[in-house]
Chain A
Amino acid sequence: MNAANRIFPWMLALLPLWLLPSCKEDSLDPEGIWFISADEDYRTTAQEALINMEDYDTVHFRAGVFEFNTQLSVSNKTGIVIRGEGKDVTILDFSAQLSGAQGVLATDMVDIIFADLTVRDMAGDGIKVKDSDGVSFFRVGAVYTTPLTSANGAYGLYPVTSEDVLIDGCYVRGASDAGIYVGQSRQVHVRNCYVEECVAGIEVENCINADVYGNTATKNTGGILVFDLPSLPVIKNGNTTRVFDNDLINNTQGNFAPPGNAVANIPEGTGIMILAYDRCEVFNNRITGCNTLGIGVVSYLTLEVLDPGSSYDDPAYDPYVYNINIHDNTFNRSPGYPFAGVLGLTLQAVYTANSIAPDIVLDGSFNASLPEADQKVCVYDNGGAQVANVDAVNEFANVIPNPTSADCTLSPLPETAIDAPLLPY
């Protein structure tokens, strides 16, 4: 038996002292908290705690740098907390990692909280949470300190196929795909985060009901992406996402994503891009110096035109955009930025070197088999922002500035309700 590594005070009264596992007392406290210190054999004790902890226990990493050589993993627990003492003082370092494609992997959890720590220099993704219900990150960092290359891990914070996801006050740097990536999940909030020097700052992909607000994305290739991609099995068609009150600042990092990934097509200088989504409201965002593409609204057809590697075979996937509502955003962009990437170069060809693409670019694709009323892309009250339908699927043959089709309104989307776990302090 390997039971009884976790002890409550009342148990102590029942057991003679010699029966206590001798090596564990300093890892425990009376409230089910497993303390891990940097001066112990933490590679073993941390993973042991993650396995042996009971529901509603906490694993608490003290301040310090913890150098792990394997992935940490946890699964099938309810109500647990994995926390440090601050994202600047509790560092889980994976630069010597020998196994595992993530720093931390959590699967099949109910109500898990990560808080107040940073994972650093993982071989792959930072913290991946899969197939879980109730996932919260508070003040968590995921950092690749290495130069910005395609060898960096893809995702910093990576909840996927989960429900009730809250990412609050987190920091990510250096991911070769998306710093914060929420995929195939429902009921999602990403708020108050700061993401820099990633390919995509924040990406919501094939989700249903997500709010992304109060974040700052700067020095990424693209700031915030709302993407719906084909050939994903769990959620085929993402819908209903609000992106508001975010600061998109100078997202001008050259794209360093490994080719073959969807984000490798994002041109540097992108603020917000909506791809193939249904029901998306983008409002009150401040877009500064994202000079290639302030806000882009594109169907997957455009991606296929620009990147032959994007073809797919998925009859259940709908590549078009529907019900996109863009209002009350402010833009501060300027011409002259060196365009890059296929989409960037194509825009440059249309809007010559000393000019600038409009603040809001619509690709103009249209699903002829569905009523026009269901596929509005409405653009209004954006403080004089320029809009264009660039006719991307016809290789930009018929660009329409200030298209009347965008002169419409849509009802606001409701706030996304979530039931993610909160810290008791």
Chain B
Amino acid sequence: MPRSCPIKVMLFKPGFSYLLASLLLATACSDKKGLGDGFSLESLPLEQLSDYQLFDGELNLLQPGPDLLPYDLNTPLFTDYAEKLRFLYLPEGEQITYVDEATLQYPIGAMLFKNFFFYNDTRNPALGRRILETRILALHEDGWKAYSYLWNDAQTEATYRVTGAVVPVNWIQPDGSNNSIQYVIPNQVDCQNCHQIGDPLMPLGPKPRNINRSYPYADGTTNQLEKWAEKGWLTGLPASIPVLPVWNDPSSGSLNDRARAYLDVNCAHCHRPEGDADNSGLFLNYENGDASALGLCKPPVAAGAGSGGLAFDIVPGQPDSSILLFRMNAVELNVMMPEAGRTIIHQEGVALIEAWIASLSPEGCP
């Protein structure tokens, strides 16, 4: 597909990195797949989020331009009650290929944008919001790379930052009470540690079964995967694929399935055979069918204070005796799980897993 060589970026951002970027672009644009009119894959990460020129209007509206599609997940990762807006970008003419219910094969140049924000008052979004960070996963020839952008206080721009940050955040919760936290933006290595499944980095949320839901697009509500296929962005979509339950919607699945969905999304990036917590032997991925590896009557490994004085990860029928629940329900750094991504307790998630463990039988461990 023919495309124009990038010149736009150089015109209004004369800086070292842009000159370097333009040198790379000049050699790269003839034979590399394009990302659009403004930049090439080799120039990533761009210094500012606005440099991507993928949003319409004021940047903080996060209004997707024509090259972005918003998407949502059935069951998302909990990150201190932050709200999220997610977008998919594909290079023009490129397609994602459906592989299986947990896997999409993205084309080189694909990017996923995930914006984290808090409403000032969750009871009334019209009272404004504070965007904290935008995370980008971009698929290069040699694999996915993670870039994190920190939003400024004026909410006019987000700037590439490898080191992460600690940002104080206040907001009004659904019950009208105030909450105040030190929100932790991960550094680039932290990003890798979660997204590294085996050797390469991988997107975590957008698995087909987790995207398999409807979305209220500007031109009408429709299933996300069908929308992608209809737009020519997705090929090989079977007539019917599994749906990951919505963790907090009982109509979407059984208690067991919703709990497993929650554990898969919130724990299994590390707690899977190829994950960072493989040494623990605790595997919480959706596919795991081994009761012991799932934690049932399994003694902890290298848990330290995380054991809470308890003997097993999960004691069927006894949530209060289960290390897994104890660690979800903690904020001490050497106790809490997951280790990264939250500083406060996800009360509703804890309630779900508590109910699930209570429902498991036969009760107790030998």
Could you list which residues of chain A lie within 8 angstroms of chain B, going by C-beta atoms? 1-4, 19-21, 43-44, 47-48, 50-52, 69-71, 73-76, 97-101, 105, 107-108, 122-125, 130, 150-155, 160-161, 176-177, 181, 183-184, 229-234, 258-262, 308-314
Contact = CB atoms under 8 A, between A and B. Distances in A.
B292 A153 contact: no
B115 interface: no
Interface string B154-187: 0000001011101000000000000000101001
Contacts of A75: 189, 192-193, 196
Contacts of A43: 163
B323 interface: yes
Contacts of A99: 166, 184, 333, 340, 343
A260 B302 contact: no
26 contacts: A1-B47, A2-B47, A3-B17, A47-B162, A48-B162, A73-B187, A99-B184, A99-B333, A99-B340, A99-B343, A123-B332, A124-B304, A124-B305, A130-B279, A154-B334, A161-B279, A176-B304, A229-B301, A231-B281, A232-B279, A232-B301, A233-B279, A258-B305, A258-B309, A260-B309, A312-B299
The dominant DSSP class at the A interface is: loop
Contacts of A105: 189, 193
B366 interface: yes
B interface bracket (residues with beta carbon within 8 Å of A) = 35 or more
B187 A47 contact: yes
B36 interface: no
Contacts of B299: 230-231, 260, 262, 309-312
Interface string B40-58: 0001010100000000000
Contact of A154 (B273, B304, B332): B304
B300 interface: yes
In the A-B complex, list the 8 residue pairs whose CB atoms are closest, starting with the nearest: A154-B304, A309-B311, A260-B307, A124-B334, A123-B333, A73-B189, A259-B309, A1-B17
Nearest to A229: B301
Contacts of A130: 276, 279
Nearest to A303: B299
B308 interface: yes
A47 B190 CA distance: 11
Contacts of B189: 50-51, 73-75, 105, 107
A1 B20 contact: yes
B287 to A, nearest CB: 16
B68 interface: no
Contact of B279 (A2, A3, A51, A160): A160
Contacts of A47: 162-164, 187
A412 B222 CA distance: 71
Contacts of B276: 107, 130
B12 interface: no
Interface string B12-50: 000011111100100000000000000000010101000
